[in-house]
């Protein structure tokens, strides 16, 4: 067994990150967060908030989408990640499962899995077998369908395959973009179980999810992104009790709860010049002064 890295060497640090697409579109502003070794961290937020952009920046796939980091930094342990080099991210142990279950429809399950971890260069056959065994123990259905074309799998099975392919690179940090999207409730439950299992085996997870209930039940820490900025951060269970999250992301009609006495910065606050943060019961609200407010519902 390789020696486990010290915690800080297997943690993701995003510091003051700005990302733009093209010349004009600012998608992220001053975003900072950490994914500690072995943790599950979730990003919530409405459509267009910048969640996928953050995952792309970390996985080095920004340039493929004509995006670029214009300020701030990302590092995984000692490795600097610049948003432009997916191979560097994979080599550092950071692998993304993109939204939309992208599998190679014309290739078999086995061939799809073999494309996982290609950026790692030459690996010993034993390492590949070990990675495949891990995938098959998590997803026995894939083991039964190794010779089947991926395009003929159900939506849930394709999602399993997409996650399985990422696991073939033996990531220490897995980036998951909307893994439950469009799946039947039973399959959503299964995917949640799998995420828990992957994490229990020592892989940290940065999870983007529209299904906030599922995401908050899995995560240690949660951040709410709105219009490119982190607006709320804290332990997932505490965030789940705030009025803003209950109303906007968990679909509840809220009355003020016993646990949240603070004035909330809701999803409706926009724009800004100076930043103020207030901490109450572990939840950090980041609000911007001089802002206008305007309704903006959750997706």
Ligand X SMILES: Nc1ncnc2c1ncn2[C@@H]1O[C@H](COP(=O)(O)OP(=O)(O)OP(=O)(O)O)[C@@H](O)[C@H]1O
Residues 213-232 that bind ligand X (CB under 6 A): none
Task: Report the alpha-carbon distance of residue 24 to residue 26 in Å, rounded.
Answer: 6
Q: Which stretch binds ligand X (CB under 6 A): 10-18, 43-51, 133-141, 271-279?
A: 43-51
CB nearer to ligand X: give 74 or 131: 74
* Alpha helix ranges (H) inside 175-242: 185-200, 212-218, 236-239
Residues 82-141 that bind ligand X (CB under 6 A): none
Among 11, 27, 95, 222, binds ligand X (CB under 6 A): 27
**Cβ 76 to ligand X, closest distance in Å?**
20
Strands of the chain (E only): list them.
12-21, 25-35, 40-44, 67-76, 79-81, 94-97, 173-177, 204-208, 221-226, 229-235, 275-280, 283-288
Asked if residue 5 binds ligand X (CB under 6 A), the reply is no
**Cβ 34 to ligand X, closest distance in Å?**
20
**Cβ 51 to ligand X, closest distance in Å?**
4
Which residues 6+ apart lie within 8 Å of 199 measured at CB?
38, 40, 205, 218
CB nearer to ligand X: give 209 or 238: 209
CB nearer to ligand X: give 53 or 199: 53
Task: Report the alpha-carbon distance of residue 265 to residue 128 in Å, rounded.
Answer: 48
CB nearer to ligand X: give 20 or 260: 20
Evaluated on CA atoms 214, 219, 222, 226, the torsion sign reads negative
φ, ψ for residue 141, nearest 5 deg: -60, -35
Residues 45-74 that bind ligand X (CB under 6 A): 45, 47-53, 65-66
CB nearer to ligand X: give 40 or 224: 224
Rounding to the nearest 10 degrees, give the CA dihedral for residues 139, 143, 149, 152. Answer: -50
Nearest to 45 by CA among 28, 26, 70, 65: 28
Total residues binding ligand X (CB under 6 A): 13
Q: Which stretch binds ligand X (CB under 6 A): 41-49, 82-90, 181-189, 231-239?
A: 41-49
**Cβ 112 to ligand X, closest distance in Å?**
24
x/- mask, ligand X, residues 6-25, rule CB under 6 A, reads ---------------x---x
CB nearer to ligand X: give 157 or 226: 226
**Cβ 134 to ligand X, closest distance in Å?**
29
CB nearer to ligand X: give 28 or 142: 28
**Cβ 50 to ligand X, closest distance in Å?**
4
Nearest to 109 by CA among 77, 86, 73, 135: 135
Length in residues, the chain: 299
The gap from C-alpha 47 to its chain's centroid, in whole angstroms, comes to 15
**Percent of the chain as helix, strand, coil, to the nearest 5:** 35, 25, 40
CB nearer to ligand X: give 31 or 150: 31
Residues lying near ligand X in the complex (CB under 6 A) are found at 21, 25, 27, 45, 47-53, 65-66
């Amino acid at each position: 067994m390789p020696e486990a890295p010290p915690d800080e060497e297997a943690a993701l640090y995003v510091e003051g990150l700005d990302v733009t697409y093209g010349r004009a579109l600012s998608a992220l502003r001053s975003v900072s967060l950490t994914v500690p070794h072995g943790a599950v961290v979730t990003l919530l937020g409405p459509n267009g908030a910048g969640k996928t952009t953050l995952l792309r920046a970390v996985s080095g796939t920004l340039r493929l989408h004509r995006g670029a980091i214009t300020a701030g930094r990302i590092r995984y342990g000692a490795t600097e990640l610049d948003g432009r080099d997916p191979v560097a991210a994979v080599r550092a142990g950071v692998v993304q499962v993109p939204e939309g279950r992208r599998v190679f429809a014309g290739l078999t399950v086995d061939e799809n899995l073999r494309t996982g971890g290609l950026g790692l260069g030459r690996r010993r056959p034993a390492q590949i077998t070990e990675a495949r065994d891990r995938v098959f123990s998590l997803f026995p259905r894939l083991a039964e369908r190794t010779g089947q074309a991926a395009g003929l799998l159900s939506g849930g099975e394709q999602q399993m395959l997409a996650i399985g392919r990422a696991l073939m690179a033996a990531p220490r940090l897995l980036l998951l973009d909307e893994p439950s999207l469009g799946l039947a409730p039973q399959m959503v439950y299964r995917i949640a179980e799998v995420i828990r299992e992957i994490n229990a085996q020592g892989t940290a997870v940065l999870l983007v999810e529209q299904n906030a209930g599922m995401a908050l039940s899995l995560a240690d820490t949660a951040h709410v992104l709105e219009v490119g900025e982190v607006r709320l951060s804290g332990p997932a269970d505490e965030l789940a009790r705030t009025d803003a999250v209950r109303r906007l992301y968990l679909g509840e009609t809220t009355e003020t709860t016993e646990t949240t006495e603070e004035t909330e910065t809701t999803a409706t606050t926009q724009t800004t010049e100076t930043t103020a943060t207030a901490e109450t019961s572990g939840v950090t609200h980041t609000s911007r002064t001089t802002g206008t407010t305007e309704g903006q519902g959750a997706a």
